[in-house]
Amino acid sequence: MVTLDQIVQFAKSTGFIFQGSELYGGLANTWDYGPLGSLLKKNIKDAWIKKFQRQTPYNVLIDSSILLNSEVWVASGHVGGFSDPLTECKSCNQRFRADKLIEDHDPTVSADGWSTDQMYQYLVDHEVTCPNCGKKEFLPIRAFNMMFQTHQGVVLEQANQIYLRPETAQGIFINFKNIQRTTRKKVPFGVCQVGKSFRNEITPGNFIFRTREFEQMEMEFFVKPGTEVEWFNYWKQFCMDWLVSLGLDQDNLQFDDHKPEALSHYSNATTDIRFRFPWGFDELWGIASRTNYDLKAHQIHSGENMTYLDPDTNERYLPYVVEPAVGVERLVLAFLANGLDEETLESGDTRQILHIHPALAPYKAAILPLIKKEHAEKSLEIYNELNQYFDVVYDETQNIGKRYRRQDAIGTYLCITIDHDTANDQAVTVRNRDTMAQVRIPIKDLRSYIEKETQF
Ligand code: GAP
């Protein structure tokens, strides 16, 4: 697999991802998605919505506000408890997440569920060293709340303080009754949401893996109490199947079932799907059975009855919830890490290639006039027809071999060349990115051909 440095270099040089605010010296750990990266993100989100909402009759989609009444975060426990254990090296003053220091010191240890005292004792007993300066003394650990605070309105006073959401999930829970009433969905049903979340992470890093601003795709699936384990197992496999169907190698994926002692107090089952990132297996997707914790918390805190009345049995209950939650940027990184490749051709030449599912490829096809002067007009006509249905790109510079290589490197699935014969046979040559095989396709069939070749 490629190194993280190679991915960063590739992303920057091709226009997938740029350093944020580069013109002004950058802003640490922020990233801008360029022409290719923004299309890749859009395609990932479309593929998720298609599978999790559109093709799942149980599910609907919502788009709730990033800014919510602060009481939401008090009720959900984020104001009181959404924190990471922060420690500081006594010598160089660098700050760290204590649980990560422990897990990096001994990868067989998980500090999930440990108290801050337990973590501090471990640092002392095992003489854990500072990754920055190598010294072995840390300050006592304190809980650092990761909520981003801001103010609404013109007066900077406590009453106007609000938060940027740290997850999209709560926007779904607080709308549970609205959604159920207006859709008349019967339990079980799910609510999907895609959107930005913000966390003041202590140690962002590994390129786009952990950032302070990121995008989540979350589904809250409401079920009858007692059926949650069955549904948990269903969605766990569903998520894994989705990743594999989009081309991630099974060998690069694994389930990490959390041990009972490592579960959050409200969860009766949690698993992570881990991907083999360049630094090793790490969390890609969290799937949790959250019982009725969130609905109950909002019921108590708001005073509103959040129960569901089963119209068939007349039973009234607070639904339990199964929640798969994944970050879009982590998927971007996984698809780049999984797909970047260098092939040696029979001629001895090498070609850079991004093997990515055609449904995710930023461009489905490149439209290439063999000779600019002779074929540009027809090529642009074809380009203007196809861009009504697909993301396609037109490229007329340099020889055809170089243009093929350029498109292979950014994952463009098909190269469509307009040549001397096109005027006679009303057909074009279509080359496949992976096999490099070429076929002659009538222009009138191009749309259906691309649709068939790139569908998901
Ligand atoms: N509502 C549950 C929830 O948010 P989480 O495990 O904290 O659960 C879910 O987050 C997913 O969101 C993670 O598995 C990861 O893919 C993504 N994610 C979380 N924090 C992130 C960060 N700081 N940067 C990038 N992605 C992040």
Q: How far is ligand 1, taken at its centre, from the CA of residue 346, in Å? A: 44
In this predicted structure, the answer to whether residue 173 has a pLDDT above a threshold of 90 is yes
Q: Which residues contact 40 (CB under 8 A, 6 or more apart)?
A: 16, 33, 332, 335, 356, 360, 361, 362
Q: Which amino acid is at 409?
A: A
Q: How far apart are CA 212 and CA 334, in angstroms?
A: 19
pTM: 0.95
In the numeric block, which tokens belong to residue 283? 């969390």
Q: SS3 of 420, please?
A: coil
Q: What pLDDT does 454 receive?
A: 96
69 C-beta neighbours (distance < 10 Å), count? 13
Q: How far is ligand 1, taken at its centre, from the CA of residue 375, in Å? A: 49
**Which tens digits make up the pLDDT trace of 261-319?**
888 888 999 999 999 999 999 999 999 999 999 999 999 999 999 999 999 999 999 99
For ligand 1, is residue 359 a contact (CB within 6 Å)?
A: no
Q: How far apart are CA 315 and CA 209, in angstroms?
A: 44
Residue 406 is inside which H or E element, if any? Answer: helix 400-409
Q: Are 274 and 268 in contact (CB under 8 A)?
A: no
Q: What is the mean pLDDT of residues 58-77?
A: 97
In this predicted structure, the answer to whether residue 113 has a pLDDT above a threshold of 90 is no
For ligand 1, is residue 215 a contact (CB within 6 Å)?
A: no
- Give the number of residues written for the chain: 456
Alpha-carbon distance values, 191 to 220, 268, 291, 304 (Å): 5, 21, 16, 20
For 397, counting Cβ atoms within 10 Å of its Cβ (0-12 exposed, 13-18 middle, 19+ buried), the class is: exposed
Q: Give Cα 237 to chain centroid, integer Å.
A: 18
Q: What pLDDT does 160 receive?
A: 86
Alpha-carbon distance values, 23 to 18, 31, 206 (Å): 11, 13, 22
Residue ID of nearest Cα to ligand 1 atom 4: 167
In this predicted structure, the answer to whether residue 451 has a pLDDT above a threshold of 80 is yes
In the numeric block, which tokens belong to residue 369? 């006039």
Which atom from ligand 1 is nearest to the alpha carbon of 168? 1
Q: What pLDDT does 87 receive?
A: 96
Radius of gyration over alpha carbons of the chain, in Å? 25
Q: Which domains does the chain have, with CATH numbers?
A: 4-69+166-335 (3.30.930.10), 363-454 (3.40.50.800)
Of 78, 247, 82, 254, which Cα lies nearest the Cα of 173?
78
Mutational test site, ligand 1, from 330, 331, 333, 335, max ligand atoms within 8 Å of CB: 330
**Beta bridge pairs of residue 414:** 365, 432
Omega cis (within 30) before 311: no
Which atom from ligand 1 is nearest to the alpha carbon of 272? 14
Q: Where are the alpha helices (DSSP H) in 228-325?
A: 228-245, 293-302
